Amino acid sequence: MAPESAAIRVDGLSKRFGDFTAVDSVSFEVPRGEVFGLLGPNGAGKTTLVRMLTTLLAPSQGRAWVAGHEVRGAQRRVRESIGVIPQALTSDLDLTGWENIDIYGEFYGVRRRERHARARRLLEMVGLAQRAGDLVATYSGGMRRRLEIARGLIHSPEVLFLDEPTSGLDPQSRRAVWDLLAQLRAENEITISLTTHYMDEAEHLCDRIAIVDDGRIIALDTPDGLKSQIAGADRIDLDVEGDVDAVVAMIEARPGVHGVQRTNAASLTVAIDDGAREIPRLVDAVETLGAQVVAVSVHRLSLEDVFIHFTGRTLREERARKVGFFVGPGMPQAR
Amino acid sequence: MRIWAVMRRDLLKLARNPLTLITVVLMPIVYLVIIGNSFAGQLRNLPVALVNGDSGVYGRRVVERLQALQAGPKTIVLTYFEDAERAVAATRNGLYKAAVVVPPDFSRDVTTGHEADIGLFLDNVDVVSARTLEGALDAAIASIRQEFVSARRPQLGVVMMRPVELFRTVDYDASLIPGVIVMALFMGSLTSGVFNWVMDRFLGVTEGYLVTPLARWEIAGGMLASGVAVTTIAATIVLFLGLLLTGTTFTGGVPALATIVAVMLLSATGLLAMTFLLLGRATHPRLVGVFAGFLNVVLFFPSGAIYPVESFPSWLGAFAAYNPETHAVYALKQILFKGANFAAVAGDLAFLAVFTGVMLVLASVTFKRTL
């Protein structure tokens, strides 16, 4: 694909801060009209990647094009083509919702009449038409986020970047943001790049998902495609007391088992076919070894499991754990 | 115009925080009242311990002169002591600014033509009051000497000094008005402009507008322009409040006012550009606050607003010559009190224009459009 035809094209992009490599030689392409998800834990490098794509940070290496314009060199063109909703809330508290949107429209050089018409429509869309005249200081977090989504759309951008659009929001506000993005997609020809550390959000909204860890993309596919890369339709989660290493070895040897991962010192996730039927047998086998099953549950393969499969840890686990005292022999993440 | 949008955003935010603007106006006015009354031109009510050990006529005359000083210009407040040692000890303890001791044989020494001394024990740590007392007491006693001399010799060829005021009478507190206007310009410059930029950065708000097509010069220029507008308005309010408070009439009409506004606009632009140069990369608004306090002292006190620039030691005088506030204060003084016209302050305006130009160039070179 030529750089001009893709909404986003990234080619060997890296960002280093001193010795630390935040983004490590990342390449991918996003066709126009797609909702593209960057999924990864905090500190994976998602925000740094997005900041390079939105011209806030200069790449250390590699090239990237957004809406056909190179981020290094054609910054102004890129800025004119994108809408950005940063992770931090950036609307002005001392201004009204209307003023926030109107002034940003002016930043983009949108003519007054068009600006006002669009601001009215967008405020209607995000459900803030009634509150447009109030100071943003009186808005809730969810309202501010919705306002900023409207603000990011005032100039009809080709590509919309959202960095953690629902972090810190209550479930109801999250749902409202999701509906808004779904509606936006249905009604407009827009490419959306979304970073998140919420699995359900990525699964719900994205056409394709890139799993980001340690500054690299370690998997990239549709949600279903990602799941199909992993064997075993079900997952059994076990909390075990006793000789965990022996338990792991025993389970791995059983028929129908596609793998065992330790997510914690005493927690296992077993990739297995027909999990519900296998539970009683599995529990019996563990107890035969002299160990105890403290808790057990079974669920269908989810994106969370996909993430664990590729990164060796759950999304919510902090980086410190990986190198910290939970590391033991047989831990899959010890790469 | 994008730059207008930046300015509008800034001005709207300032308008929503009227307290900021009120502070910029009120604080220089409070300074005017406090400096006007604490430095107040002439010192008053200095406590002085007095011991008269002399029983003769000249000793009594010294006491009378000092009493006159107490009753008239109220320079001193006298406390009478019998014992010289106790009077000096009390002065040493800080109860009095000076002790005056008239020795027992003072009258005799005067009449016999011997050297007649009066003891003056000064609290010389308090430099300002010591100097004033020395001068005032010396003058009071000199008149006794003169009287004595004139009794023996007729005065011939005495040179008299008759002061002629070149300009209309200016009260001490009114003379501070140019200084407080400049202070308002300074404070306005540091509460708008670069402060808003650093605050936006601190709050992470910059991330919102750095991804828009706003150019570097549009961001800095818009913030600078709103700062100039707000600062000039604040300084104009301070000017008229100052005139009102000190009961000074404004003369010179529209040309004078226009020249004053020109001084204000130039100074505000120069100061704002300077703060962008110095603080444009600060990451915490606290740094702006700390710097503001420091800069205020460095620029305000050597500006001639309170003390005449000519009396500074040479190094400070050299600094004052390049201090924009010096030129602003001087120009404002000329226009407000000396009825000067535009031509008379053209040199100061030219300096301010050059200063402002240099600062604008340097600030625009160093200003970075980054997070």
Residue A327: predicted pLDDT: 35
- State phi, psi for A268 to the nearest 5 degrees: -125, 150
CA pair distance B78, B310, nearest whole angstrom:
36
* Tally of domains in chain A: 2
Q: Report the SS3 class of residue A11.
A: strand
- Amino acid, single-letter form, for residue A242: G
Element (H, E) at A4: none
Residue B149: predicted pLDDT: 43
Tell which wins on pLDDT, B132 or A75: A75
Lowest mean pLDDT among A168-177, A194-203, B45-54, B119-128: B119-128
Give the start-to-end residue ranges of the domains of chain B: 46-152, 171-366
**Residue A153 and residue A184 in one domain:** yes
**Residue A154 and residue A283 in one domain:** no
Question: Average pLDDT of B8-20?
Answer: 92
CA pair distance A145, A87, nearest whole angstrom:
9
- For residue B163, name the pLDDT band (cuts at 50, 70, 90): low
Q: Structure tokens of B207?
A: 């991330």
Q: Give contacts of B 324-363 with A, CB under 8 A.
A: none
Q: Give the contacts of B196 (CB within 8 A, at least 6 positions apart).
A: B10, B13, B223, B227
Tell which wins on pLDDT, B241 or A265: B241
**Residue A219 and residue A276 in one domain:** no
Tell which wins on pLDDT, A324 or B350: B350
Residues of A with CB under 8 A from a CB of B: 51, 54-57, 76, 79-80, 82, 84, 86, 88, 90-92, 94-95, 99, 103-104, 106-109, 135, 148, 151
**Residue A250 and residue A237 in one domain:** yes
- Amino acid, single-letter form, for residue A304: E
Does residue A314 belong to any structural domain of this protein?
Answer: no
**Residue A284 and residue A222 in one domain:** no
Scan for tokens 């000039």, then name that residue.
B232
Q: Report the SS3 class of residue A52.
A: helix
Closest-CA distance of chain B to residue A133, Å: 14
Note the ipTM here: 0.78
- Most confident of the ranges A150-164, A193-207, A235-249, A314-328: A150-164
**Residue A216 and residue A270 in one domain:** no
Find the residue in B nearest to A102 (Cα). Answer: B5
Cβ atoms within 10 A of the Cβ of A289, count? 15
CATH of the domain at A75: 3.40.50.300
- State phi, psi for A147 to the nearest 5 degrees: -60, -40
Q: In the beta sheet, which residues pair with residue B304?
A: none
Q: Report the SS3 class of residue A208.
A: strand
Cβ atoms within 10 A of the Cβ of B53, count? 15
Tell which wins on pLDDT, A302 or A114: A114
| End-to-end CA, chain A | 34
Q: What HEC string does A146-170 produce?
A: HHHHHHHCCCCCCEEEEECCCCCCC
B80 touches chain A (CB under 8 A): no
Binary contact (A76, B213; C-beta < 8 A): yes
Quote the DSSP letter at residue A135: B
Q: Give the contacts of B299 (CB within 8 A, at least 6 positions apart).
A: B186, B323, B324, B325
Residue B150: predicted pLDDT: 40
Does residue A322 belong to any structural domain of this protein?
Answer: no
Chain A residue numbers touching B1 (CB-CB < 8 A): 106
Domain boundary (A198, A226, A254) is at: A226
Q: Give the contacts of B203 (CB within 8 A, at least 6 positions apart).
A: none
Residue B357: predicted pLDDT: 96
- For residue A334, name the pLDDT band (cuts at 50, 70, 90): very low
Domain boundary (A226, A258, A290) is at: A226
B5 touches chain A (CB under 8 A): yes
**pTM check: above 0.90:** no
Q: Are A60 and A69 in contact (CB under 8 A)?
A: no
On the question of pLDDT at B13 being above 50, the answer is yes
Domain boundary (A204, A226, A248) is at: A226
Tell me: the pLDDT tens digits for B279-296?
999 999 999 999 999 999
Domain range for A282: 231-300
Query: With pLDDT > 90 as the criterion, what percentage of chain A qualifies?
Result: 52
Binary contact (B2, A106; C-beta < 8 A): yes
Tell me: the pLDDT tens digits for B206-263?
999 999 999 999 999 999 999 999 999 999 999 999 999 888 888 888 888 999 999 9
Does residue A108 belong to any structural domain of this protein?
Answer: yes
Q: Does domain B46-152 have CATH number 3.40.1710.10?
A: yes
Residue B155: predicted pLDDT: 44
Q: Report the SS3 class of residue B9.
A: helix
CA pair distance B64, B239, nearest whole angstrom:
45
Long-range contacts of A124-130 (CB under 8 A, 24+ apart): A125/A150, A125/A180, A125/A183, A125/A184, A126/A150, A126/A180, A127/A176, A128/A97
Does residue A305 belong to any structural domain of this protein?
Answer: no
- Return the sign of the alpha-carbon dihedral for residues B105, B107, B110, B112: negative
Question: What average pLDDT does the structure give for chain B?
Answer: 86
Binary contact (A90, B5; C-beta < 8 A): no
Lowest mean pLDDT among A28-37, A141-150, B339-348: B339-348
CA pair distance B22, B207, nearest whole angstrom:
30
Q: Report the SS3 class of residue B332.
A: helix
Question: Average pLDDT of A51-75?
Answer: 95
Tell which wins on pLDDT, A333 or B17: B17
Q: Are B182 and B305 in contact (CB under 8 A)?
A: yes
Find the residue in A nearest to B208 (Cα). Answer: A90
On the question of pLDDT at A54 being above 90, the answer is yes
Chain B residue numbers touching A88 (CB-CB < 8 A): 204, 207
Does residue A312 belong to any structural domain of this protein?
Answer: no
Tell me: the pLDDT tens digits for B321-367?
999 999 999 999 989 888 777 788 899 999 999 999 999 999 999 99
**Residue A170 and residue A219 in one domain:** yes
DSSP string computed for A221-284: E-HHHHHHTSS-SEEEEEEEES-HHHHHHHHHTSTTEEEEEESSSSEEEEEESSHHHHHHHHHH
**Residue A77 and residue A207 in one domain:** yes
CATH of the domain at A250: 3.30.70.100
Residue B153: predicted pLDDT: 42
Binary contact (A107, B210; C-beta < 8 A): no
Tell which wins on pLDDT, A305 or A318: A305
- For residue A313, name the pLDDT band (cuts at 50, 70, 90): low
Does residue A105 belong to any structural domain of this protein?
Answer: yes
- For residue A332, name the pLDDT band (cuts at 50, 70, 90): very low
Residue among B198, B217, B203, B199 nearest B7 (CA): B217
Beta strands per DSSP E along chain B: 46-52, 76-81, 98-102, 119-122
Tell me: the pLDDT tens digits for A226-247?
888 777 778 899 999 988 888 9
**How big is chain B, counted in residues?**
371
CA pair distance B246, B249, nearest whole angstrom:
9
Residue A256: predicted pLDDT: 84
On the question of pLDDT at A330 being above 70, the answer is no
Does residue A324 belong to any structural domain of this protein?
Answer: no
Q: Structure tokens of A223?
A: 């949600």
Question: Average pLDDT of A101-122?
Answer: 95
- Amino acid, single-letter form, for residue B180: V
Closest-CA distance of chain B to residue A96, Å: 10
Chain A residue numbers touching B370 (CB-CB < 8 A): 56
Chain B residue numbers touching A104 (CB-CB < 8 A): 208-209, 212
Q: Are A77 and A63 in contact (CB under 8 A)?
A: no
Q: Are A330 and A232 in contact (CB under 8 A)?
A: no
CA pair distance A292, A314, nearest whole angstrom:
24
B298 touches chain A (CB under 8 A): no
**Residue A222 and residue A235 in one domain:** no
Residue B162: predicted pLDDT: 61
